[in-house]
């Protein structure tokens, strides 16, 4: 019997830069073949957009294994306070098929505006908490 190879944690980050009001950004990224499982997903808005919270900044949809599973579809919000009480990942626990892709989209909902209603560009990260073979 062959010994089970050691599994290690690897984070995968997909950065998204939103430059236009209502922009839709398609996700299409091939994952490294040594990733075995996606344990969880988290979202974070990197930019400070303004002085008020925006609960519905955008919408994100994530599909794994080249469109085969759809484990995540949520609104993305901006919080004026950089730190949260807790940073838990949304648990999804999906097996990853080697060389398949992450797909989906991010859709801006047009809420990132200054006082003159001009669009404020912003960036966010989608984090994938994965297990990989060493």
Partner 1 sequence: MKLTKYQLIKIKVGIAGETVKFSADTDKLYERIDAMFVSLPNDDSHFGSTLELRIADQEILPEGFETKLLACNQSTSPNERFFHFDHDENIEAKGSHIEGRYTDGGFVTGITFPYQAIIYLKLKNGNENNDTQK
Residues making contact with partner 1 (CB under 8 A)? 7-13, 15, 42, 44, 46-48, 81-88, 123, 125, 127
**Contact of 32 with 132, CB cutoff 8 Å:** yes
Least spacing, CB of residue 59 vs partner 1, in Å: 21
Nearer to partner 1, 1 or 82 (CB): 82
Nearer to partner 1, 10 or 70 (CB): 10
Nearer to partner 1, 100 or 127 (CB): 127
Least spacing, CB of residue 68 vs partner 1, in Å: 25
Least spacing, CB of residue 83 vs partner 1, in Å: 4
Least spacing, CB of residue 125 vs partner 1, in Å: 6
Nearer to partner 1, 48 or 75 (CB): 48
- Which pair of tokens denotes residue 103? 């797909």
Q: Is 66 exposed, middle or buried (0-12, 13-18, 19+ CB in 10 A)?
A: middle
**How would you classify residue 130: left for phi > 0, otherwise alpha for psi between -120 and 50, otherwise beta?**
beta
Cα separation, 42 vs 33, whole angstroms: 21
Please give the backbone phi and psi of residue 19, each rounded to the nearest 5 degrees, phi first. -115, -10
């Amino acid at each position: 019997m062959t010994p089970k190879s050691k599994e290690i944690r690897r984070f995968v980050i997909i950065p998204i830069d939103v430059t236009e009001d209502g922009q839709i950004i398609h996700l299409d990224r091939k994952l490294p073949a040594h990733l075995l499982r996606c344990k969880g997903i988290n979202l974070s808005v990197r930019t400070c957009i303004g002085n008020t919270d925006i609960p519905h900044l955008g919408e994100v949809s994530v599909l794994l294994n080249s469109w085969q599973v759809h484990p995540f579809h949520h609104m993305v919000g901006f919080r004026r306070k950089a730190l949260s009480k807790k940073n838990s990942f949304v648990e999804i626990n999906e097996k990853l098929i080697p060389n398949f892709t992450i797909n989906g989209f991010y859709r801006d909902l047009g809420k990132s505006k200054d006082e003159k209603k001009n669009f404020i560009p912003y960036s966010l990260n989608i984090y994938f908490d994965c297990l990989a073979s060493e």
